[in-house]
A and B are shown apart, each in its own frame.
Chain A
Amino acid sequence: MTTNPMKVSEVKDQNILVDTNIVIYYAANGFKERSGNILRTLANNGNKIGISEITAFELLHDEQKNEVEDYFYKFVNYIHRVPVEQGCLQNAVALAELYRVVCNNKKVPDNDLIIGGTAIHYDEVLLLTTDRKDFCEPLWDTYARDNIYYKEEGDVEVTLYLLRFNKEVIKLQK
């Protein structure tokens, strides 16, 4: 919808919910540097960052190599964790209905519905994710976007999206 969104690294003074895929990319060799240490940059720009307790669950519930497991535990313990309140789950239910009605019966995993529901539950919260497939238009508008490039090849490694829920679609539904 927005033709030329700002860069994620330029966003200031927002509340940002960090999706699970971002934490996984951050664990990849050299990603922190390639992304310009994007989480540190966002914090330095006055943004408040956090993860859902669902993201903590997604990171920790599978067996990992010791070093990776330690990394995820440290990450989860150093970042603000947002509880899954009743309203977040209520929104997950309503979101699932919206995906059916507005997005051609699209199926979205429960964890993403709850993470999305959490971003909606709180006032003025943006979602940082690489997953534009499940967090799709017209439900989610692009507020900012950044491509991260492999240094050696110059190819795009991944696109980071900062998304905002489009509350106008609630009116469309009714």
Chain B
Amino acid sequence: MKNLLQKHETVSVGKDRFSLGVSAKNWGLNTNIEALNDVSLTKGITREERDVLLRRLSDDNESHEGQRS
């Protein structure tokens, strides 16, 4: 059992330890910019609808802070 566990590759996590410099050479290769360009809403969301969606992102933040306080 011990040997099996030792075979697993693990990343040692430290609170001040960053994982840096993994190659991004394959980034964006499967972005279909032509198709993406064609993606559109018939009429787009309104400012109010946009603000509701953005607020949801920050509301997640507030509930997150609330849990910690």
B33 touches which of A15, A20, A43 (Cβ 8 Å): A43
Q: Is the interface of A mostly helix, strand, loop or mixed?
A: helix
Query: Quick check: A40 and B16 within 8 Å, CB to CB?
Result: no
Known: A111-B60, A167-B20. A87 touches B27 (CB 8 A): no
Query: Quick check: B20 and A107 within 8 Å, CB to CB?
Result: no
- List the count of A-B residue pairs having beta carbons below 8 Å apart: 144
Query: Quick check: A120 and B56 within 8 Å, CB to CB?
Result: no
Contacts of B33 in A (CB 8 A): 39-40, 43-44, 49
Known: A90-B13, A107-B65. A122 touches B27 (CB 8 A): yes
Contacts of B27 in A (CB 8 A): 15, 48, 50, 80, 82, 122, 125
CA distance in complex: A109, B41 (Å): 29
CA distance in complex: A104, B46 (Å): 36
A25 at the interface (CB under 8 A from B): yes
A149 at the interface (CB under 8 A from B): no
Query: Quick check: B17 and A15 within 8 Å, CB to CB?
Result: no
Total chain A interface residues with beta-carbon distance under 8 A: 58
Known: A48-B29, A80-B31. A87 touches B39 (CB 8 A): no
B68 at the interface (CB under 8 A from A): yes
Contacts of B39 in A (CB 8 A): 71, 74-75, 78
Query: Quick check: A78 and B31 within 8 Å, CB to CB?
Result: yes
Q: What 1/0 mask marks residues of chain A from 43 to 86 whose CB sits below 8 Å from any chain B CB? A: 11001111000000010001000011001001100111010011
CA distance in complex: A40, B50 (Å): 21
